[in-house]
């Protein structure tokens, strides 16, 4: 973040890493993980940073190209915690991506 906002402080940093592995029949196994480094100097009534580092989320899923330009995906997102130590929810996400 470059400036203080109602959901983050300036100098907060989000880190992520992703990996995709080709499976048989043109399926892909997709994984990712995300974490944040927090700066508490801009806290106010809306933002109360209690953590300097937190694991935000991890994802695992499958995707497949079904036409030349269309990719379908199904992912499970395991929610971590935010800067205020509140747990994020877990979700199943279904996606469709059209490439021009």
Q: Which burial class, exposed, middle or buried, applies to 86 when counting CB atoms under 10 A from its CB (0-12, 13-18, 19+)?
A: exposed
> pLDDT of 2-38, one tens digit each?
455 545 556 678 899 999 999 999 999 999 999 988 7
* Whole-prediction pTM: 0.73
DSSP state of 41: G
Q: What per-residue confidence (pLDDT) applies to 29? A: 98
> pLDDT of 61-72, one tens digit each?
999 999 889 999
Summary mean pLDDT of the chain: 83
What is the span of the domain harbouring residue 82? 11-39+50-98
Query: What 3-state class would DSSP assign to 26?
Result: helix
Identify whether 68 is part of a domain: yes
CA dist 17 and 5 (Å) reads: 25
Identify whether 6 is part of a domain: no
CA dist 14 and 54 (Å) reads: 10
Identify whether 3 is part of a domain: no
DSSP state of 81: B
Q: What per-residue confidence (pLDDT) applies to 14? A: 84
Indicate the number of domains in the chain: 1
């Amino acid at each position: 973040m470059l400036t203080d906002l109602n959901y983050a402080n300036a100098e907060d940093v989000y880190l992520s890493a992703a990996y995709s592995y080709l499976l048989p029949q043109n399926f892909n196994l997709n994984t990712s993980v995300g974490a944040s480094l927090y700066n508490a100097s801009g806290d106010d009534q809306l933002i109360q940073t209690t953590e300097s580092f937190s694991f935000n989320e991890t994802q695992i899923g499958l995707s497949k190209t079904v036409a030349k330009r269309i990719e379908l995906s199904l992912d499970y997102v395991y929610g971590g915690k935010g800067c205020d130590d509140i747990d994020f929810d877990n979700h199943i996400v279904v996606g469709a991506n059209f490439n021009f």
